[in-house]
Structure 1
Amino acid sequence: MRPFILSKSQVLRRREFLTQVTAVAGGILLVACGGTAATESASSGPSEQGNPAKGFQLPPLGYAYNALEPYIDAQTMQLHHDKHHATYVKNLNDALKNHPFASLPIEEVLRRINELPENIRTAVRNNGGGHANHSMFWRIMKPKGGGEPAGELASAIKANFGSFASFKEAFNTTGSKVFGSGWVWLVSDKSGKLQITSAANQDSPLLNGLYPVMGNDVWEHAYYLKHQNRRADYLNAWWNVTNWDEIAKRYGQAKNI
């Protein structure tokens, strides 16, 4: 029997086929494990500062899409991070293309929003706010989070709101009253005093000289797939994924602005 010998072209096609199969299998395994390409490939922390060559970058989520279940579902996290946040970053880069502000930290851009030309100011306000807000949002949540803050942040919450329970109730009430799309915030003013505020759309507290210590996104895309129109259920569930270590770190930063 003559041996079966592949031609050179057949060998090349076979190699190409095996490469494609390997790539597809790797993608299936990543999804099955609840992973995210942004998480797996990240080698550094989130970039909220522009880069003259690349512009602002979508920061990695930092954990698997399904890591916050059952409180926030995997599909919501994937769409929220990979689609909504990515769109804010793209639009922000488009608005600031060839502008000196493109190399500044997004916080500084928002604080100096009135220095921008009027024809791009609204786009930067909306999309720059969306980028800053979400970059914070991913970090102030974590798997197996929740509980209560400790240390200076706990003392400040008690001093300003009477107790953590009172603070939590006021925060949820403010979030439930946001009409349409927006955020509920715990902010610090220049004197270090904490207060609960809300804002429409993607407006950042930075626009008003306030520092966002923590905030919850109450746009419907943050909760509708799981909770439908029951925003109150989402607000209550969210406390199970809060990352108080990161929030306490932000409170420390707020005192230095």
Structure 2
Amino acid sequence: MAIARRHFLVLLGASAGAFTLDACALAQNAPSQNKPSPGKTGAIQLPALPYAYEALEPHIDAATMRFHHDKHHATYVKNLNAALDKNPELKSRTVEQLLRDLNSVPEDIRKTVRNNGGGHVNHSMFWRIMKPKGGGEPRGPIADAIKQNFGNFAAFKKQFNEAGASQFGSGWVWLVRSKDGKLAVATTANQDSPLSEGNYPIMGNDVWEHAYYLKYQNRRADYLSAWWNVLNWEEINRRFVEGGKAA
């Protein structure tokens, strides 16, 4: 009986060990949006995705979301933190404040802050203005503002898509609140932020190839058209109101 009991305890210990190893493996393989990004205190953090990688399918595929968020955005955050470590006094300012006044950023890191700070702020907005089962006609204050500035939603959508399709190379297409308070469609190259031009970005679509090429290849226009099906108009309305306060 003692031998049988000892054998049972050995098996139980082995099972517990295997369970622990399996749990660790599962934790390591869990999607990054469910884990806080590593970083020292005070460092810029990679924001978690507010939904699963596959949540925006069929319009934006899971593979694109995984690489876009976990690789591209994460690299902007890493490079930005490395630049700010060289000038820790800048850490008392938000990234948005730095982008609004790039001339105040030391010249040796200005380009890095412009590219990677812009990439971080642009993408942080991008994840939030999309959601599963989104899209449809705009609602709330933004709907009235679009009608006032563009005539109707169809005209605005057409202008936005045409601007995005014609943006040469990498960049973004935006709906911004300009310095005079009016809404306008604008484009920026690379990861430049409208904040650096004195405009407030209400919504924007990433037209870098990494945002769409796995699914749409060179059909950027198809990607632009599909993107309207995942828009989060509640968040866009929040940004519209916020932009009015910032003006």
TM-score by length of 2: 0.90
Counterpart CA distance in 2 for 1:52 and 1:68 is: 31
Corresponding residue of 2:64: 76
1:37 aligns with 2:25: no
The count of aligned residue pairs is 243
Q: Which one-letter code corresponds to 2:32 in the other structure? A: A
Question: Against the structure 1 CA distance between its residues 18 and 151, is the aligned structure 2 distance closer, same or farther, given a 3 Å change threshold?
Answer: closer
Deviation of residue 10 (structure 1)?
9.4
RMSD: 2.5
Q: Which one-letter code corresponds to 2:77 in the other structure? A: V
Identity of matched residues, %: 57
1:20 aligns with 2:21: yes
Tell me which of 36, 44, 51 is aligned to 1:56. Answer: 44
Q: Which structure 2 residues correspond to residues 1-257 of structure 1 after superposition, within 5 A? A: 2-3=3-4, 5=6, 15-25=16-26, 36-38=31-33, 40-41=34-35, 53-97=41-85, 98-257=87-246
Report the secondary structure of 2:4's partner residue.
Answer: coil
Counterpart CA distance in 1 for 2:192 and 2:90 is: 18
Report the secondary structure of 2:173's partner residue.
Answer: strand
Give CA deviations for 1:2-49 in whole Å, capped at 9, x if unaligned.
43736x999877654331123335666x5xxxxx332x346xxxx9xx
Report the secondary structure of 2:6's partner residue.
Answer: coil
Counterpart CA distance in 2 for 1:191 and 1:52 is: 40
Corresponding residue of 1:33: none
Is the CA contact 2:42–2:91 (under 8 Å) kept in the aligned structure 1? no
Is the CA contact 1:190–1:255 (under 8 Å) kept in the aligned structure 2? no
TM-score by length of 1: 0.87
Is the CA contact 2:118–2:193 (under 8 Å) kept in the aligned structure 1? yes
Deviation of residue 52 (structure 1)?
8.3
Q: Which one-letter code corresponds to 2:133 in the other structure? A: K
Unaligned runs of 5+ in 2: none
Question: Against the structure 1 CA distance between its residues 11 and 185, is the aligned structure 2 distance closer, same or farther, given a 3 Å change threshold?
Answer: same
Is the CA contact 2:32–2:70 (under 8 Å) kept in the aligned structure 1? no
User: Could you say which structure has the higher helix fraction?
Assistant: 2
Q: Which one-letter code corresponds to 1:65 in the other structure? A: Y
Deviation of residue 250 (structure 1)?
0.5
Deviation of residue 217 (structure 1)?
0.1
